[in-house]
Structure 1
Amino acid sequence: MKIAIVGAGAIGGYFGGLLARAGHDVTLIARGAHRDAIRANGLTVESKDERFTTHPACTENPAEAGAQDLVILSLKAPAVPDMAEKMLPLFGPDTAMITAMNGVPYWYFYKHGGPLDGYRIASVDPGDKQWTLIGPQRAIGSVVWVAGAIAAPGVIHHSGGNRLPLGEPDGSRSERVQRFSAALSAAGIDAPVHDNIRQEIWTKLWGNLSYNPVSVLTHGTLEGLSRDPDARRVLGAMMEESKLVGERLGIDFPVTSEQRMAMAEKVGPHKSSMLQDLEGGRPMEIGGLIGVIAELARKLDIPTPTIDTVLALLKTRARVAGTYKD
């Protein structure tokens, strides 16, 4: 199977390494020193249990790869709109794309069937570039439950998790989603097919939309924020406001906000991905994690005063850091 990984960083590189080892024709889309190291020495994946090196193709230019059977999009959300047009050579008539990203994806309301069926999300897909150029019909949803980092150019350190559940936007168990699930599973990736991938998206989003922005504003860890009474009030209010949005869209919340914060506390003194991006001088996933909730709340006439306040402060912080583009 021809598979392109767009955004072959820590997570995309991990998936690409496993798929290349399994014998698939993998092309990694990467740049800079990481690309150069992969070309020269191959891609190395290391974890507590093993270390292996594969030699997939690696390029900065998707046009060099040509049409694929499957594209795995593993970029952070702010980078995707600018990449959408460059990705077009990867798509043949039947090419599918797994959106292996945090937050709400651009295709979310494609075949949704709810009150916002067909809605295009401006905070996630400004100018409808992804919807128009790539198309929602190519999309297969997923949620990344994997932790890792680029230990050095060309070297991926996998620190935990191996789960990438997949799901069609319409909830069907199509031939293509079952085929890709089987290929990923055979490569060592836990990729079950879900009938309601949006539920899985919200399971992760509920923590990300609250802890990520509050951690940026306070520099607190998941454990520290969970134990701080003032932070807990803000986190809890954000969760309850977003819960109203999710429920209006058909999402069930099997745990309370208090239970969700207890789960985050157990993660320990971990910095959120958004805080890591701030400290690294990188654009933060503002639109896909919290901006989208504010946008959908307005469409549904649901007040979200805490979310709106935190979002405004988060944008200001990003502007001060020089990483925010309206």
Structure 2
Amino acid sequence: MRILVVGAGAVGGYFGGRLVQAGRDVTFLVHPRRARLIERRGLRITGLGEETTLHPSTVLADEITAPFDLVLLSVKATALPSAMDDLASAVGPETLILPTLNGMRHIDALEARFGERAVLGGVAMVSTTVDDEGDIVRLADVQSLTYGARGGPAPDQLVGVLGGAGFETRQSADIVADMWAKWVFIASTGAVTCLMRGTIGEVASTPGGAGFAEAVLDECAAVAEAAGHPVPKETLESTRQTVTAPGSPLTSSAYRDLVGGRTVEVEEIFGDLAARARQLGTPVPLLDLVTLNLRVYQGRQA
């Protein structure tokens, strides 16, 4: 399959890079500045003892001349509108789009633009960032990609394409539930670290911190349950242990964007979840608080 990876950042660059290493037919859709950097220095994956340099194919939006079989969409949610414009010419009648964006609202936008059949569900779990040199830096040994159809037959042809590429893959029978479970996880870790301006361990080690983290998690999980997608008990307890672990260096991508002075996915991770809670009659005062806090930050950035 011809694979187009939209975005060569922390998520797309990592998974796309692993697919390149595994010999898959991968092209990265990037902006001119990123294309020049990859041409000059390669696509570099570092951290945890790794120093990998790859030289993948890249393409600009106006250079796409034929549809691809699979589009791996791994941009930040705030870049989704422009990304859809850029990748439109790569989507044909049989193209599958696998988004790994946070939250759920991107699904509606992609369906409206490309149709329900084309849009899969996806969950990427990876702890990476992009440093000042443009390198993808691994922060923890977490690397998995779960995918599935949200209705109709599962895309079995992806098993051999995505599998065996150096990261864990799973074809899900209920990808929507998996997406909600991840949403609860990232909203909880994001709310705790962003609102308290610290790592999970720093918050958990402070009197009242673990209780606060649990209360945030309970709110997020209550929204998922009210929406008809309760987080499985084992997954929920694992998340509870994660957000209350004393000494944990864990942060969230939202927190790293916040302290780095970058745009935060406020509406996609927190605002949309809080809005759905109101529609479902589920009170979420802590989720409302972090949403307000980050909206103020976002307004200041603007």
The two structures have a TM-score, normalised by structure 2, of: 0.87
CA distance, structure 1, for counterparts of residue 285 and residue 80 of structure 2: 29
Percent pairwise identity:
28
CA distance, structure 2, for counterparts of residue 32 and residue 229 of structure 1: 49
1:236 aligns with 2:217: no
Of 296-305 and 65-74, more deviation after overlay is shown by 296-305
1:194-242 deviation per Cα after TM superposition (whole angstroms, max 9, x unaligned): 1112232233222321231342232111111223344444433332233
1:166/1:194 contact within 8 Å kept: yes
Cα 1:316/1:73, change in 2 over 3 Å: same
Computed over aligned residues only, the root mean square deviation of the Cα atoms, in angstroms, reads 2.6
* Counterpart pick for 1:260 among 215, 239, 256: 239
Cα 1:225/1:259, change in 2 over 3 Å: farther
Instruction: Output the amino acid matched with 1:238.
Output: V
Secondary structure of 2:120 counterpart:
strand
1:81/1:130 contact within 8 Å kept: no
* 1:78 CA displacement: 1.2
Counterpart in the other structure of 2:172: 194
Counterpart in the other structure of 1:126: none
1:141/1:197 contact within 8 Å kept: yes
1:236/1:258 contact within 8 Å kept: no
* 1:257 CA displacement: 6.7
Secondary structure of 1:84 counterpart:
helix
1:140 aligns with 2:120: yes
The two structures have a TM-score, normalised by structure 1, of: 0.81
2:110/2:119 contact within 8 Å kept: no
1:25/1:56 contact within 8 Å kept: no
Cα 1:229/1:211, change in 2 over 3 Å: farther
1:234/1:306 contact within 8 Å kept: no
* 1:164 CA displacement: 0.5
Of 64-73 and 253-262, more deviation after overlay is shown by 253-262
Cα 1:226/1:205, change in 2 over 3 Å: farther
1:154-212 deviation per Cα after TM superposition (whole angstroms, max 9, x unaligned): 64333422210112112x552xx222132111322321111112232233222321231
Of 287-296 and 28-37, more deviation after overlay is shown by 28-37
1:126-177 deviation per Cα after TM superposition (whole angstroms, max 9, x unaligned): xxx433213332122121122223346464333422210112112x552xx2
1:262-281 deviation per Cα after TM superposition (whole angstroms, max 9, x unaligned): 22344812332111112222
Counterpart in the other structure of 1:115: none
CA distance, structure 2, for counterparts of residue 193 and residue 229 of structure 1: 41
Counterpart in the other structure of 2:230: 251
Secondary structure of 1:290 counterpart:
helix
Cα 1:154/1:227, change in 2 over 3 Å: closer
* 1:74 CA displacement: 0.6
* 1:296 CA displacement: 1.2
Q: How many residues align?
A: 299
CA distance, structure 1, for counterparts of residue 64 and residue 133 of structure 2: 21
Counterpart in the other structure of 1:123: none
* Counterpart pick for 1:164 among 114, 130, 145: 145
Of 223-232 and 79-88, more deviation after overlay is shown by 223-232
Gaps of 5+ in 1: 108-119, 121-128
CA distance, structure 1, for counterparts of residue 217 and residue 115 of structure 2: 31
Counterpart in the other structure of 2:283: 303
Secondary structure of 1:68 counterpart:
coil
Gaps of 5+ in 2: none
The aligned runs of 1:1-326 (5 Å cut-off) are 1-31=1-31, 33-46=33-46, 48=48, 51-61=51-61, 63-64=63-64, 66-107=66-107, 120=108, 129-151=109-131, 153=133, 155-159=135-139, 160-170=141-151, 174=154, 177-248=155-226, 249-255=228-234, 260-266=239-245, 268-322=248-302
Of 75-84 and 256-265, more deviation after overlay is shown by 256-265
CA distance, structure 2, for counterparts of residue 259 and residue 40 of structure 1: 42
